[in-house]
Structure 1
Amino acid sequence: MNKIIIFLAVLGLHTHSFAQTKSIWLDDLKIKSFSEGIPAVLGKTNAGGDSMKINGKLYKHGVGVSSTSVLSFFLDGHATEFSAMVGVDDKGVKDLPLKFYVIGDKKILFESGEMKLGDAPKPVKVSLLGVKRLGLLVTIEENGFNRSYSNWADAKFIMKDDFIPQTMPNTDEKYILTPKPDKKPKINSPKLFGARPNNPFLYTIAATGERPMNFAVKNLPQGLSLDSKTGLIAGKVAQKGTYTSTLMAKNAFGEATKELKIIIGDTIALTPPIGWNGWNSWARNIDREKVIASADAMVKMGLNQHGWTYINIDDAWQGQRGGVFNAIQPNEKFPNFKEMADYIHNQGLKLGVYSTPMITSYAGYIGGSSDFADGKITDSIKNNKRAFRYVGKYHFEENDAKQMAAWGVDYLKYDWRIEVPSAERMSAALKNSGRDIVYSISNSAPFSNAKDWAKLSNTFRTGPDIRDSWLSLYLSAFTLDKWASYGGHGHWLDPDMMILGNVTTGSELHPTRLTPDEQYSHVSLFCLLSAPLLIGCPIEQLDDFTLNLLTNDEVIEINQDPLGKPARLVSDEDGIQIWVKPLEDGSYAVGLFNIVNFGKTPESYFRWGDEKSANFALNFNKIDLKGNFRVRDVWQQKDLGNFIGSFKTNIRHHGVIMLRMFPQNH
């Protein structure tokens, strides 16, 4: 018997191969949890939810994917084989070449070559003996194609025991860099704030430090008043103009001051909105209690004292059309809507809601248009909601804007397949509503109309819905340099919500799949881009690491800088991206990102567990910064010294070194 075992070992076979094996169809797994792409991943159908067909042949088993697709599996040596038939779905895009890869522990086990619509499916059968980590990859050129459907048909694992394929481990240390705030007061709210004449004004002085704390303001414009205990400034200013006030916060340990420039004019959202959105926390299960709990948690966790302001309800709050304005009314999950808004405002926070110019929203609720003059939703629409995702004959923007203003809404997320006429109508309606409502248009704004989005909206989505993966983060944020010139005061680039904490992106509530290093990169780049910062997880569930990520005032200050210029990508060489953002005081925010040539090889799409950091020398001349600079690490809130010409550092895999560089006189 021992001789047989030795003989099998020499042949590279495992003695337990005689044990009974087990097949697992890919579509029997919770496949969405394995997907790191942005579009839908569906089991037993194509990515559009239709029958899975390749070159006319129907498949009952398999996984349908779209666009560039990354499926990651942790097998830990328990699988023996993977097999499938791969090809472009019959409802895919003509003449669009795709490539399929199977990669095990950094080795390409299968490569399809280019495949197009109409090509015969190709068989995959690879040994997985000893493979710990497996990646299934489909690549295309990312040019915004819809219906770029491809299929892993009849895909299955052969397992040698009862082990079930797992998602990739994400157990790296959640290291905390930011020191805790001092007991002395520090004012963290924006230095710049805009409002329209005679509209309700609400600005809260956010300040860290030991409580109790008292607030004061010098040179407050006529029509505004301050609550000295809460720091809430409210009222109305009639006269257009620029007003410079001095904010003051005082406690038993000291006093802090900060200059605030108030501009009463035509432009609001002079700094990017910063707050919370409920979709990636609760999706369709949002209700009044969860919104109130989020506002309470914003205060209890102290996020409000770092400038976090908005509590935004996403899709699924809408009921029927009615009321004094014949506007969208809340459904049964949101009783006493005005009372809820008042409660949020009384805490110094602001309220946001969701709508769409389509007849029905993406979650199937009533929208801002109708094919009927009264705007009502009929039973036929309710029973076939997906068929009514288009803009109807009759429009109700003015009705809905007036109702939002009456409730005290401060933010509108407007979500549809964006086109200019609908964007214009709601933009005008909000401006005429009598209230300053930040206008955020959502769902892949076409770049060809970038000037229109900057003119019409306060924030505009630059891509599709984000997912909690490095691939999604990379496509959503690291590719935005071409958009940067269109971002600025009152019109900010929006890469979507933040993917930190516990999120529901694409599947049930789960911890973000970003590594700690990737989370630092995520927050850093969003702040460098002057993007809206909208927390996408349940606030009350924040752990110490995530809370620390969200409460670094020096990082947030870069996002809220009054100059309002998004960072530009100034270098992308040897796996390191360098983004530079000029700041109002003449300093520069610089992000050094170790992207490790992501996307340039099939293997680079996956996390293999042996990732390494990179040594890097920042050459100041190469990024057009000349001379002597005081360099500060903003995550550690620590000066690193004065440097002439260059600066050396070590950057973790998919991590960041975020600097603030202050020019020094020679």
Structure 2
Amino acid sequence: MNILRVLLVSGCMFLTGSQAYAQKLSGLWLDDLNIKSFSEGIPAVLGKTNASGDPMLIKGVHYKHGVGVNSTSILAFYLNGNATGFSALVGVDDKGNKSLPHTFYVIGDRKILFKSREIRWGEAPQAVYVNLTGIKRLGLLVMVNDEGLTKTYANWADARFEMLKNHLPQNIPNDDERYILTPPPAKAPRINAAKVFGATPGNPFLYTIAATGERPVIFSAQNLPSGLSLDTKTGIITGSIKQRGSYTVVLKAKNRFGQAVENLRIKIGDTIALTPPIGWNGWNSWARNIDREKVISSANAMVRTGLSQHGWTYINIDDAWQGQRGGKFNAIQPNEKFPKFREMVDYIHSLGLKAGLYSTPWISSYAGFTGGSSNLENGFFPDSVRDHKRLFRYIGKYRFEKNDALQMAEWGIDYLKYDWRLEVPSAERMSIALKESGRDILYSISNSAPFSHVQDWARLTNAYRTGPDIRDSFNSLFVSAFTLDKWSPYGGPGHWNDPDMMILGNVTTGTQLHPTRLTPDEQYSHVSLFCLLSAPLLIGCPIEQLDAFTLNLLTNDEVIAINQDPLGKPARLVSEENGVQIWLKSLEDGSYAVGLFNTADFGKTPESYFRWGDEKPKAFTFEFSKIGLKGKFKLRDVWRQTDIGSFDQKYQTQIRHHGVVMLKMIPEGSSK
């Protein structure tokens, strides 16, 4: 006997055989949810408006309810059988792109329940209704080949769930085992600091010998150049070197369990940042709520958690520290949240750490604070600009790069994040100002540096953002990192490709502070690929809130050493087959680092954008010849820090869904 389903306005009646029953339903507008928390795309999604915050219009018709999205959009919901229907009108917003076609999908438990026609600007919306009875996981997907174009606005207008009474959609569960692979450090010392360090002649020098091992540890340094001194208790080396040249220093760390010895190459010349910067940035932790106490707490936590013993160095203050211009340089001064600013920086340095700041060439920063230019000759930042920050996101008539660089140098700043979507002249002006400031300040530009100018970024800056702001979703990680192969030839010592901050721990990327939505496997892939890419490693969560799993991810010295390898050669994507990407990185000692990533052909089908809860590991045969390697190799699992054995021509393994197997490959016969 056929099953009859009748959807009523006031409820839902199901007739199955001779049994009939009714259950009340509750209509739920999609825009009444905290819709940002369900988004796994990159640009913002907004409820009740289009993605730019303007009224939602499709072919001139205004919709009071709905969700506006931008670019390829991914909304994921856990319904667990508590929804019976979904309806909407889908179309391109009247302020959207006028040429690109958009396709809308509704996907439930891996099945495409609805696929729209290709919809373009100016076309009437298409109606959607799908029966969701029994559906556990639902995905709403908009696909558009935007190729970096902006304002590709589309709408789920009048979008509405029919839910069983007293039930609401939930976020997709992220409760997979948080398995720990890295063994704890030994009690005997191990030196983990970068093996090469660059500084400018005559400028202040700060290098900390990062070392694990039971305290107390006594540090020493043989052949330390004239002008430098070492604190034997802390391992902090300070001073300055006037003479250009390359100096080899023998570093030692000793405790009652043994002694570690490593060589450090100090290069005094025109190039700093000879290895990628590694530290913390405050934006994805505290956003606009950053203050002096949070910065000091982060610095203390960097030491207390032991991160500093593994080489983590920078404590970077992002946007929202800026007050008015003033002081002897007429430079941006800290606002009321940052009293005793120089004292704070000195304290960070006393811990062997370095301090960073944020600025922008615009009149108004992204968060609405004083920028590096103004339409007023004295650079004053009036409330009228602060209150209308979006209108002042451009470079003003008067520029203050030299003023601000001199002030940062006087404070002792070591790192500048310079935002937003810079053009070459602005980047060059600040580059010159920093080099003439009298202090080595690592220069990082953000956001979405155009690839067409990559040679300029490599020439002018120490790090340059290769894409948009990262979000804590696999889609964002994939776009930010798994597509960087074309950038790899341009990264290297002194100029690093930067895919943005790390999305581990508790993050606030567009929503309130919450645990990262990356699965444990995706987090291992995240750290692995950033290290293979020689990318800056900037923790984007409150350090004092780190749990054991996240701290373990950040303290594997063999994985970090791949990132900090002195050769500084970013990995290349050398193979992609059957849903597995292989990234290969040459190391200074003649060995290789390899990442085998099970991306499961992410982005190649509509279903692949979502996590369905039934994913399985993939059996994989790694054939060395397919990536250009011949002969026999000793393989080491760097996450587990264990030798696997010697293998000729191939290695068979299993890779977890969106996970990684990360190997060090040592040519047979090598002692490395």
193 and 20 in structure 1: CA distance in 2 versus 1, 3 angstrom threshold: same
Aligned-pair CA distance for 1:153: 0.6
SS in 2 for 1:596: coil
Aligned-pair CA distance for 1:9: 7.5
1:351 aligns with 2:355: yes
Aligned-pair CA distance for 1:12: 8.3
Aligned 8 A contact 2:578 2:600 in 1: yes
Aligned-pair CA distance for 1:161: 1.6
Measured against aligned partners, the alpha-carbon deviations of 1:80-128 in whole angstroms (never above 9, x if no partner) come to: 1000000111111111111100001111111002111111100011100
Query: After alignment, is 246-255 or 379-388 more displaced?
Result: 379-388
Equivalent residue for 1:292? 296
Equivalent residue for 1:649? 653
Equivalent residue for 1:581? 585
Aligned 8 A contact 2:59 2:94 in 1: yes
Equivalent residue for 2:480? 476
Measured against aligned partners, the alpha-carbon deviations of 1:487-523 in whole angstroms (never above 9, x if no partner) come to: 0000000000000000001100000000000000000
Matches of 1:384 and 1:605, distance apart in 2:
37
Matches of 1:618 and 1:493, distance apart in 2:
27
Aligned partner of 1:449 among 433, 445, 453: 453
Equivalent residue for 1:252? 256
4 and 263 in structure 1: CA distance in 2 versus 1, 3 angstrom threshold: closer
Matches of 1:327 and 1:53, distance apart in 2:
44
12 and 525 in structure 1: CA distance in 2 versus 1, 3 angstrom threshold: farther
Q: 1:553-572 counterparts in 2 under 5 A?
A: 553-572=557-576
Q: Which sections of structure 2, spanning at least 5 residues, go unmatched?
A: 6-12
Measured against aligned partners, the alpha-carbon deviations of 1:541-590 in whole angstroms (never above 9, x if no partner) come to: 00000000000000000000000000000001100000000000000000
Aligned 8 A contact 2:66 2:158 in 1: yes
Equivalent residue for 1:494? 498
Aligned-pair CA distance for 1:442: 0.3
Measured against aligned partners, the alpha-carbon deviations of 1:10-41 in whole angstroms (never above 9, x if no partner) come to: 7489955x222101111110000000011111
1:537 aligns with 2:574: no
Q: 1:129-148 counterparts in 2 under 5 A?
A: 129-148=133-152
Aligned partner of 2:323 among 319, 341, 345: 319
438 and 12 in structure 1: CA distance in 2 versus 1, 3 angstrom threshold: farther
Aligned-pair CA distance for 1:372: 1.2
1:278 aligns with 2:282: yes
Q: Which sections of structure 1, spanning at least 5 residues, go unmatched?
A: none
Measured against aligned partners, the alpha-carbon deviations of 1:212-239 in whole angstroms (never above 9, x if no partner) come to: 0000001111100000000000000000
Aligned 8 A contact 2:146 2:152 in 1: no
1:97 aligns with 2:101: yes
Equivalent residue for 1:69? 73
Q: 1:565-644 counterparts in 2 under 5 A?
A: 565-644=569-648
Q: 1:357-368 counterparts in 2 under 5 A?
A: 357-368=361-372
Matches of 1:578 and 1:199, distance apart in 2:
41
Q: 1:264-275 counterparts in 2 under 5 A?
A: 264-275=268-279
Aligned-pair CA distance for 1:323: 0.5
Equivalent residue for 1:384? 388
625 and 201 in structure 1: CA distance in 2 versus 1, 3 angstrom threshold: same
Aligned 8 A contact 2:100 2:146 in 1: no
Equivalent residue for 1:261? 265
Aligned-pair CA distance for 1:263: 0.2
Matches of 2:238 and 2:439, distance apart in 1:
13
Matches of 1:14 and 1:628, distance apart in 2:
69
SS in 2 for 1:572: strand
Equivalent residue for 1:28? 32
SS in 2 for 1:608: coil
Matches of 2:316 and 2:188, distance apart in 1:
31
Matches of 1:503 and 1:458, distance apart in 2:
26
625 and 444 in structure 1: CA distance in 2 versus 1, 3 angstrom threshold: same
1:434 aligns with 2:438: yes
Matches of 2:500 and 2:117, distance apart in 1:
34
Matches of 1:145 and 1:13, distance apart in 2:
56
1:522 aligns with 2:526: yes
Matches of 2:164 and 2:625, distance apart in 1:
57
Aligned partner of 1:211 among 215, 228, 251: 215
Structure 1 residue identity aligned to 2:339: P
Structure 1 residue identity aligned to 2:463: T
Aligned 8 A contact 2:285 2:507 in 1: yes
Matches of 1:223 and 1:13, distance apart in 2:
93
285 and 15 in structure 1: CA distance in 2 versus 1, 3 angstrom threshold: farther
SS in 2 for 1:19: strand
Aligned-pair CA distance for 1:652: 0.2
Equivalent residue for 1:59? 63
Matches of 1:630 and 1:304, distance apart in 2:
31
Aligned-pair CA distance for 1:665: 3.1
Structure 2 residue identity aligned to 1:122: Q
13 and 457 in structure 1: CA distance in 2 versus 1, 3 angstrom threshold: farther
Equivalent residue for 1:163? 167
4 and 564 in structure 1: CA distance in 2 versus 1, 3 angstrom threshold: closer
Structure 1 residue identity aligned to 2:441: I
User: What TM-score does the superposition give when structure 1 sets the normalisation length?
Assistant: 0.98
224 and 75 in structure 1: CA distance in 2 versus 1, 3 angstrom threshold: same
Equivalent residue for 1:184? 188
496 and 13 in structure 1: CA distance in 2 versus 1, 3 angstrom threshold: farther
Aligned 8 A contact 2:4 2:16 in 1: no
Identical-pair percentage = 70
Matches of 2:176 and 2:663, distance apart in 1:
24
SS in 2 for 1:20: strand
Matches of 1:261 and 1:131, distance apart in 2:
60
Matches of 2:16 and 2:636, distance apart in 1:
58
Aligned-pair CA distance for 1:417: 2.2
Structure 2 residue identity aligned to 1:85: L
Matches of 2:167 and 2:146, distance apart in 1:
35
Matches of 1:175 and 1:382, distance apart in 2:
46
Matches of 1:172 and 1:153, distance apart in 2:
34
Matches of 1:141 and 1:299, distance apart in 2:
45
4 and 664 in structure 1: CA distance in 2 versus 1, 3 angstrom threshold: closer
13 and 248 in structure 1: CA distance in 2 versus 1, 3 angstrom threshold: farther
Matches of 2:187 and 2:23, distance apart in 1:
65
Aligned partner of 1:369 among 355, 358, 373: 373
Aligned 8 A contact 2:26 2:163 in 1: yes
Aligned 8 A contact 2:582 2:595 in 1: yes
Measured against aligned partners, the alpha-carbon deviations of 1:148-194 in whole angstroms (never above 9, x if no partner) come to: 11000100101112111100000000000000000000000000100
Matches of 1:429 and 1:302, distance apart in 2:
35
- Two-structure CA RMSD over aligned residues (Å): 1.4
Equivalent residue for 2:238? 234
Matches of 1:419 and 1:341, distance apart in 2:
30
1:81 aligns with 2:81: no
SS in 1 for 2:24: coil
Equivalent residue for 2:514? 510
Structure 1 residue identity aligned to 2:364: T
**Matched residues, number:** 661
12 and 65 in structure 1: CA distance in 2 versus 1, 3 angstrom threshold: farther
1:310 aligns with 2:310: no
606 and 14 in structure 1: CA distance in 2 versus 1, 3 angstrom threshold: farther
